[in-house]
Structure 1
């Protein structure tokens, strides 16, 4: 047996980065021990190299990897030797979210396209994580797969076994499989990262640098069907009246839902996912914010159906170019109107062509009568509503007015034209399924009203062109849009642009430069959005009628610089102006950003910026009249302790200044965020985030006066937010998580001004006239969001959720009251309206 192992080891060491898989007829027992005899038949791979902190150096600890396979599963066994096994970090975490700890990751490029990979991680405590890599070096932890892995302690370290079903991997039909393959080990206490093949830290690449997995023969792709039904029930207690001044009485509203998720592997490289009446009651609530800007806030997607396998729908180079033109923003679907059904098809048609198709139908039902509620008696009847056939609830739980039924469609095809380079075509449509509203006046400023702009079409061409080493990059997108439906008279946008049915718009963004290597990098970029570009029917678009030119120069030392483990500094310059016939210059910005990893693996950085020559065409709604904005300077600094310490801290602080001409006010502001992560025990983690900040923007528009003048006011908004995330891991499959956010904000108004445009058609700050409006619009608001989730994955693919949530609002002051809120802390929070919900959900995946 010793001779057999020696020969196998020698054979594996012949090529650096090349693993050899051995077919087995007897699968190993999955316990993390690697003591099954079948593991002795597989050659071990040990030629690891240190990636961080000393790139290219020998690892401080030895690692051995063995690979087995059969017709259904790929097995990977890893022995992580450690000279101080008692110091192995075995911190536990929730599935998909392992904390800073000792961890190993197996990454597989089964299509061998050098762009896409599936990564499977197991930490020393047995917590699992799966990650999807796309476009070579972009990744998403939202991909969720059904697989298994176990970890075990050894006298000389720790070991892990992974069982990865082959149905999760896209691979072609071939007599011999040739896959990209890489294994990474992270040793927490040393902040050390070691890889099976060196992936330079200065490379703008990841998957394309993988080694190979050889030796797999006789694998035939086959159709796989996975059905995941669910049953969910909730009981909510909410105020009977929607009036915030009447938080009581409250009524209980029980409801139940049934639904089904379907996963069908049409080929080994093409997967169809479908869902009927999806429910996402276990998903954490969105962060509470106070948005005082004239732009829509962007929130990340958290719903599993939309996060899984959605990499192909991401715009090319969006993270490089800071682009704000997304054809697809999944949160447009099903937040206001429930999803009846949705389906998506993702994968590869050929080795070089990927596709993605998504279609979703949202439907809603309104309460047939609310006469009972008017008399204090809610309508507690249960009736069948064809638009929501899988939802069972009393009529009182239905909205007063139905949402707009719509069909959302998105299609994309992306072709690999050279190693690491792609070109894609995409199209999207939001099509109303019900009547269109034609009685709404075009001057109505209601933003994102589905009745005003009932739908839209969009299409785009994108490209991501790279040299073979990934360092030189040219990425971008060219997009067009068309308004569908809405009032014939059109709708005025915030900047005064009138959008009529059938109007089309054009947008583009692009970035080119040297984005890899060291020590110097540089790039230039350009973004353009015509006045009538409208991507928000299906996607996300921050603004239109604006173009931006930018340039960036960087000095980077990702592999260390003197005593620093990493160092980077960049200088950025931006200029914005409108795309309408006026070509108004609206903003200039300079930014210096520096960050370094210090000895001890602590991180520190700062950012210095200035905005000047500022004008805003969105501040006075529906007019497009430019208003001067004060110059703005700011300094932000941050520091973070080593994340592997039991108590990790991060502090972000800033100071800023507005420089405004009289009679308006020059101001100073400051704010800070403190993040604390405490892990006193391997199965306990407490995260507390405290935010205190304000906004400095100069006078803001309040209203248009009858005499044609505009009323403005200085504002002093202050925000306090306390967020707690408490995690208790009872086992790697049983976790209890608490999330709570206390949010409080106050906004004090004054002094007040009146102004009219000057001879040049612009509003200048120096022309403001002090006034007294006879009112004080100052306000205070506070809220508490909380949810507690017990998650039990009692077997792979079978999960039980028990969720309690509470949404609490502050009781507002009575109308006409002289009471003004000048305190930032919550006031009468628990006297206000609140909704409590208890939610239970069971789901189970069945393979056919």
Structure 2
């Protein structure tokens, strides 16, 4: 059909159905169509579209909640035996100002877009997101726990096309039932009709306007529970889902010649397979065999001089897609660090066992991670509201290679064969509340296993205005001797309200609570209380679109009653009338004790300190967006910390994005631990040596993306990181409140440099099938001293020999 004929047919259909656009009912009705009768091309030209009741009563959600939208939006729904179809027309009085931009899938640039969210479980908590922008960029995700922030790691195979029209733009979706999760209804009288939750959202970039159906109020808590209803679905059958994604990989690694690799070149190949099988219409089995995650971006370098482990987020696709059910939070410490009963980064983690190198011998190789042989997970939700998650993974034994003084090589076990298992169940109870349980197990060949488990709850009442949530969990580990511990966390919160919200939180960790074999907790032997109060304003005023004023207060102790922290802060953030975002705050920490800083040699009293911070970000719609942040901390002993960061997001064209960021941090003469040494007067005693420590870090990052088409893109990430430290005025920790000068003759200074580079060419040559070409480079150096200028450090990191890896990976999606 010629283009002009399709457009005329579309507008004729719209003209004669305008009155139904403004129906105020909170329901949408789907109309059945014949299978294969819809050509998903974005035109909505088939006659059946005009027969479907339209939804048009959108309400502005942001920035002016409750106002009439500046532009009209009309949506219709069709279905057949295999798919759901969404047709949306976004009218626009200035179509030349519609903003379209290209990006890779699941990376939404600043642009006009339309989205549908479908609660096919109809549990008022879970929904599947399908979004497209005016240039056809697809985004999909999963809402869970009735929260409005989707997990964009969830991916499905679905089709959408968009078209620019004289009076706006349109989008046409085909969402196979295999992309959704639902169960056959159990209705009286043999009725086979379905009722699903549904919501539509439109974003108009030039106004930063978000319009929504049905209406959602900012004063209300909850998101999925506020959806409208999709009616009219009858006699559809959940499909049998069986998908296979085999992959083939070839890589070449180039490094400095060494005993482990005399040629400096290492060529490898690999095969693997991902499977997805629908055990039932609402229960899915995912399996991966010999997985490879070479396309995943490397973790950034950080400077960590504390006694606590650095938390890195999960980035591997298998361990992030559909993993919401496995979220079991055991606490949030006063410094904001989360504690998790299951932390998937433990699976495949780097070995930590030290190696005995013979005298005059050499360590030839040490594995950077443990190899995952395979993993399987089962996730889903039954018709009676029981959510289930089961995960099991197997990692192979890893060995380090050492050589003795004669060059004879041997291998030493650094990570035994291991199996990791997780069981999670969560039952919907009452109205929009849950009660759940989790068990975890980590087992190693030749070693005693570690177990952990707990129950958690989330009760919501008064129409989601208030909540009471928490957990009780325990651990059992064996490291020489069996130890058992437990923890609890309880939080009461006011989640909804026009102006005032807040929460009161208490958490407790016993002395021997240890979940770190498969979980993450910063420390045991700890309990704390946190109070948070917020005043918010969402109605635009003379100078703002919205603002938040927060007050926080906290204190924490170990189980000996020693006060570990005590402080308060007040902070403010606002979206200004010109759509700039600003934030600022001030806080005060009272003097308290640190029972870890001396590395086992007793308490140390930290000085009181005051902090201030500021954040500014310009309008994200502009071709260049700047962000600036600053932080300053000063303690009562003369120590200072200063941090400043500046970034720029540059969009020279709709298909190119470049983000440049730099961060500089400096701490000056802070009292900190330096070393523990033997007491020369008593060999059985240890002296804990402290010093005035000054550090400086410089971090420069580059992120860029070039999107050729909706399915072909190129991304690059690079980080240059330099950190240096200097220790002076050494002191002996005599007691928690006293430090005396000490004649320490060691040198604890450091100067390190690192570069990480990751470049990925991604081509989705068929739906669900992807070709990756990846180049990674790593450089690590330690030249110079604390007095070396940063510019010299940056130059020196490029003089360090590089490890380069070139990888080609192809996967092919099979819908069997």
* TM-score, structure 1 as length reference: 0.87
1:314-353 matches, cutoff 5 A: 314-315=327-328, 324-335=338-349, 336-353=369-386
Q: Which residue of 1 aligns with 2:128?
A: 118
Which stretch has the larger CA shift, 828-837 or 352-361? 828-837
Counterpart among 631, 640, 649 of residue 677 in structure 1: 649
Matched residue, 1:182 = 199
Higher strand share: 2
Kindly report the root-mean-square deviation, in angstroms, between the aligned alpha carbons of the 2 structures: 2.4
Please report how far the alpha carbon of residue 558 of structure 1 lies from its aligned counterpart in structure 2 after TM superposition.
2.7
In 1, are the aligned partners of 2:607 and 2:636 still within 8 Å (CA)?
Answer: yes
**Gap change, CA 1:55 and 1:520, over 3 Å in 2:** same
Partner of 2:425: 413
Cα drift, residue 399 of structure 1: 8.4
Q: What is the deviation of 1:675? A: 1.7
Aligned to 1:209: 226
Question: In the alignment, is residue 459 of structure 1 matched against residue 453 of structure 2?
Answer: yes
- Where does residue 555 of structure 1 map in the other structure? 535
**Structure 1: how far apart are the matches of 2:561 and 2:332?**
27
SS in 1 for 2:110: coil
1:577 maps to what in 2? 557
Corresponding residue for 1:307? 320
Secondary structure at the aligned position of 1:675 is classed as strand
CA distance 1:147–1:478, shift in 2 (3 Å): same
Alpha-carbon distance between aligned partners in 2 of 1:191 and 1:844, rounded to the nearest angstrom: 39
CA contact (8 A) 2:330 2:488 kept: no
What's 1:824 paired with?
A: 790
Instruction: Find the counterpart in structure 2 of residue 633 from structure 1.
Output: 610
Output one character per residue of 1:317-371: Cα deviation in whole Å (capped at 9) or x when no partner: 9689957331111100113211101000000133311010000011135478868
1:607-626 matched pairs, under 5 angstroms: 607-623=585-601, 625-626=602-603
Query: Which residue, 666, 675, 690 being the options, matches 1:702?
Result: 675
Superposed displacement of residue 11, structure 1: 5.6
Which of 822, 831, 838 is the aligned partner of 2:806?
838
List aligned pairs for 1:264-279, cutoff 5 A.
264-279=277-292
Preserved contact between residue 331 and residue 507 of structure 2 (Cα < 8 Å): no
Specify the SS of the correspondent of 2:796.
Answer: coil
How far apart are the structure 1 equivalents of 2:140 and 2:661? 26
Aligned equivalent of 2:212, options 190, 195, 215: 195
Equivalent-residue separation in structure 2 for 1:126 and 1:470 (angstroms): 36
2: distance between equivalents of 1:31 and 1:467? 45
Q: Distance in 1 between matches of 2:263 and 2:721?
A: 23
Question: Given the two structures, how large is their TM-score scaled by the length of structure 2?
Answer: 0.91
In the other structure, the counterpart of 1:150 is 161
State the Cα distance separating 1:239 from its structure 2 match.
Answer: 2.7
**Could you report, residue by residue, the CA deviation over 1:176-208 in whole angstroms, capped at 9, with x for unpaired residues?**
110000010011110100001111122221100
8 Å contact from structure 2 (residues 254, 264) kept in 1 = yes
Deviation at 1:600, TM superposition (A): 1.1
- 2:542–2:577 contact (8 Å) kept in structure 1: no
Find the residue that maps to 1:587 and give its secondary structure: strand
Aligned pair partner of 1:692 in 661, 664, 680 = 664
User: How far off its partner does 1:42 sit?
Assistant: 2.0
Instruction: Return the alpha-carbon distance in structure 2 between the equivalents of residues 202 and 716 of structure 1.
Output: 47
Which stretches in structure 1 are left out of the alignment for 5+ residues? 380-397, 437-453, 489-499, 661-665, 758-762, 814-818
Counterpart of 1:404 in structure 2 is: 416
Q: Provide closer, same or farther for how the CA distance between residues 276 and 690 of structure 1 changes in structure 2, counting only shifts above 3 A.
A: same
Residues 835, 323 of structure 1: alpha-carbon distance in 2 compared, 3 angstrom cutoff:
closer
**Distance apart, 1:473 and its partner CA:** 0.9
Shift of 1:515: 2.0
1:424 Cα offset (Å): 0.4
Instruction: Give yes or no for the alignment of 1:31 onto 2:3.
Output: no
- Matches of 1:217 and 1:536, distance apart in 2: 49
Answering whether residue 748 of structure 2 is matched by residue 777 of structure 1, we say yes
1:373 to 1:10, Cα distance in 2 relative to 1, 3 A: farther
Contact 1:809-1:830 at 8 Å conserved across structures: no
Distance 2:483 2:143 in 1: 38
For residues 597-625 of structure 1, what are the alpha-carbon distances to aligned partners after superposition, in whole Å with 9 as ceiling and x for unaligned? 101111111121111131111112234x1
Change (3 A) 1:559 1:317: farther
In the TM superposition, residue 400 of structure 1 has moved relative to its aligned partner by: 6.4
Q: Map 1:488-503; keep pairs closer than 5 Å.
A: 488=480, 500=481, 502-503=482-483
Distance, in Å, in 2 between the alignment partners of 1:517 and 1:97 is 32
Please report how far the alpha carbon of residue 127 of structure 1 lies from its aligned counterpart in structure 2 after TM superposition: 0.8
Pair 1:831–1:182, CA change in 2 (3 A):
same
For each residue in 1:604-652, what CA deviation from the matched residue of structure 2 results, as whole angstroms up to 9, or x when unmatched?
11121111131111112234x1111111211011011111111111111
Task: Judge which range, 4-13 or 114-123, deviates more.
Answer: 4-13
1:761-772 correspondence runs (5 A): 763-764=736-737, 767-772=738-743
Q: How has the CA–CA distance of structure 1 residues 81 and 553 changed in structure 2, closer, same or farther, with 3 Å as cutoff?
A: same
- Aligned residue-pair number: 771
Indicate the larger mover: 178-187 or 141-150: 141-150
Query: Structure 1's 373 and 716: CA in aligned 2 closer, same or farther, altered over 3 A?
Result: farther
Gaps of 5+ in 2: 1-8, 186-191, 350-368, 681-685
Q: Closer, same or farther in 2 for the Cα pair 1:435/1:694, shift >3 Å?
A: farther
Tell me how far 1:15 sits from its aligned partner.
4.5
1:545 alignment partner, one of 509, 512, 525: 525
- Mapped to 2, the partners of 1:99 and 1:791 lie a distance apart of 17
Give the equivalent residue in structure 2 for 1:594.
Answer: 572
Structure 1 residue 286 and structure 2 residue 299: aligned? yes
Aligned-pair CA distance for 1:222: 3.1
Residue 824 of structure 1 deviates from its aligned partner by 2.9
User: CA 1:601/1:290 → structure 2, altered by over 3 Å: closer, same or farther?
Assistant: same
What whole-Å deviation, never above 9, does each CA across 1:94-123 have from its counterpart, x for those lacking one?
111111111111100001100000001101
Post-superposition Cα deviations, 1:644-702, rounded to whole Å, max 9, x if no partner, equal: 11111111111110112xxxxx1233211112101110000001111111347522242
Q: Give the SS at the match of 2:96.
A: helix
Aligned counterpart, 2:696:
718
CA separation in 1, counterparts of 2:122 and 2:614?
A: 42
Alpha-carbon distance change, 219 to 184 in structure 1, aligned in 2, over 3 angstroms: same
Residues of 2 paired with 1:372 and 1:544: CA distance? 43
Name the CA distance, whole Å, in 2 between partners of 1:323 and 1:653: 21
CA distance in 2 between counterparts of 1:172 and 1:320 reads 40
- Give the distance between the partners of 1:317 and 1:522, measured in 2 at CA: 19
Moved more, 264-273 or 556-565: 556-565
CA distance in 1, matches of 2:87, 2:57: 15
